[in-house]
Amino acid sequence: MSGSPVALRRHTGDLTLEHGDAFVQFEDGIAAKRLRGQLAGQIAFGARALIRFHRGLLCGPLSLAVNRLRRYLAQGIVYHSAAHSANGRSHGFRGHGMDAIPATMTAIGFDSPGGPEVLHPLSMPVPMPGAGQVLLRVAFAGVNRPDVIQRQGFYPPPPGASPIPGLEVSGQVVAMGSGVTTPFVGQAVCALVAGGGYAEYCLAEAAHCLPIPQGLLLEQAAAIPETLFTVWHNVFERGWATEGERMLVHGGTSGIGTMAILLGKLFGLEVIVTCGGPEKCAVASALGATHAIDYKSTDFVEEVARLTDGAGVHLVLDMVAGDYVARNLKCLADDGRHVTIAVQGGVRAELNMAEVMRRRLTLTGSTLRPRSNEFKGLLADEIHQTVWPLVANGLLRPVMDQVFPLHQASAAHARMEAGNHIGKIVLATGQ
């Protein structure tokens, strides 16, 4: 990160900036907004962490929320928003002072569900940001499995979301809706979006944006939000992962799998993954997986038992579902947790519920896209505080597979469906 940290003043004067660096300004604005308008979110995260502490399941990363809340309340830090209100911005729509925003843009859509070939460029109006939103000039858009499922007709966008595929983007803020103080016009950010990423311009909730620090490439930034939000929430929040525990992850070289390896390593987990072939197993091991199992040649249930001396794993992050669920449960230790985030192997599973009761297993799962903007904003805030410093100092970078031009989105989908990719596939708009 360029520049030094913002000096936080413990008095009631205006919040001023020590440096003009854009990333520092973004951080400063988030700090002010958090303590003014999102203290309730901090309390919510702290309450959840305290509940887990009471249950004996507090994970290391979430304990930071409690410590931060304690410090904020003890110090009584007060921030004023005069620095933002005095800069001449109105409360209505604010456009950028650079190039004019065009009336139309190129996006990638489809007329009817089908294979990758149904994707095609189309011209459509550039959307304008509403309250709490920003308009981004998209540089890169991440390609994810839900995009493929949407194109196949099985995963419609939630109400109010763009029908254009694309759940994560990187680019520059070019316009701000009412009520937005950060990110600023001109800021480079990446964002989790509910749709619309496969386009030259995309709307994002301001609360779902994260600043792009120095040293992080735009194509890398576009490959982070969907996988990071998904893994963080399901492994550390729903899955209660704690330092020193063992986790089994299927699809170890997928975007989700590689992020799970990287985050697990950074937060002290022993990560066992399954991969399709020795080459992919070698990549997973090089990324930091403790063990990589070739599911094409080895029974992963037997191998997990061998690798753990029969103790099993504490957590399974499952993207397969179907008949994998019963096999996954055999890999779990007593009191283990099974978190489902995709159903690539089928939506139905047959389980021995007596075993679930006897071994006190927990089965849960989630989908991120239909969750409320408030939830995603709280999740973004937690990630910004706990994980983003690792991105800023270069310790966390996504594994990149291939970059396709936006008009070759069909080729990008074909590569994802072929299953030969390692890491993230992204689209470049050329802007």
Rg (CA), the chain: 22
In sequence order, what DSSP letters do the residues of 351-385 get, joined into one string? --HHHHHHTT-EEEE--STTS-HHHHHHHHHHHHH
β-sheet bridge partners, residue 358: none
Smallest CA-to-CA distance from 33 within 73, 71, 80, 75 is with: 80
Q: What pLDDT shows up at residue 100?
A: 85
Distance CA 179, CA 182 (A): 9
Q: What pLDDT shows up at residue 76?
A: 36
Q: What pLDDT shows up at residue 92?
A: 54
Structural contact between residues 121 and 104, judged by C-beta atoms closer than 8 angstroms: no
Q: What pLDDT shows up at residue 23?
A: 52
| Per-residue tens of pLDDT for the chain, all 431 residues | 333 333 322 222 332 333 345 554 555 555 444 444 444 444 544 544 444 444 444 444 444 444 444 433 433 333 222 223 223 333 355 665 446 899 999 999 999 999 999 999 999 999 999 999 999 999 999 999 999 999 999 999 999 999 999 999 999 999 999 999 999 999 999 999 999 999 999 999 999 999 999 999 999 999 999 999 999 999 999 999 999 999 999 999 999 999 999 999 999 999 999 999 999 999 999 999 999 999 999 999 999 999 999 999 999 999 999 999 999 999 999 999 999 999 999 999 999 999 999 999 999 999 999 999 999 999 999 999 999 999 999 999 999 999 999 999 999 999 999 999 999 999 999 98
Grouping H, G, I as helix, E, B as strand and the rest as coil, residue 176 is strand
Count Cβ atoms within 10 A of the Cβ of residue 75 and give its class: 0-12 exposed, 13-18 middle, 19 or more buried: exposed
Type of residue found at 355: E
Class (C level, CATH) for 105-224+371-428: alpha beta
Q: What pLDDT shows up at residue 41?
A: 46
CB atoms within 10 A of CB 13: 12
Query: What superfamily would CATH give domain 227-365?
Result: NAD(P)-binding Rossmann-like Domain (3.40.50.720)
Dihedral (C-alpha) 82, 86, 88, 92: value to the nearest 10 degrees?
A: 20
Q: What pLDDT shows up at residue 384?
A: 98
Domain ranges for the chain: 22-85, 105-224+371-428, 227-365
Q: What pLDDT shows up at residue 30?
A: 53
β-sheet bridge partners, residue 175: 95, 135
CA torsion sign, 345 to 349 to 350 to 353?
A: positive
Q: What pLDDT shows up at residue 27?
A: 53
Q: Please tell me the pTM assigned to this model.
A: 0.80
Dihedral (C-alpha) 148, 320, 374, 33: value to the nearest 10 degrees?
A: -90
Q: Tell me the HSE value of 8 on the side-chain side, using a 13 A CA sphere.
A: 14
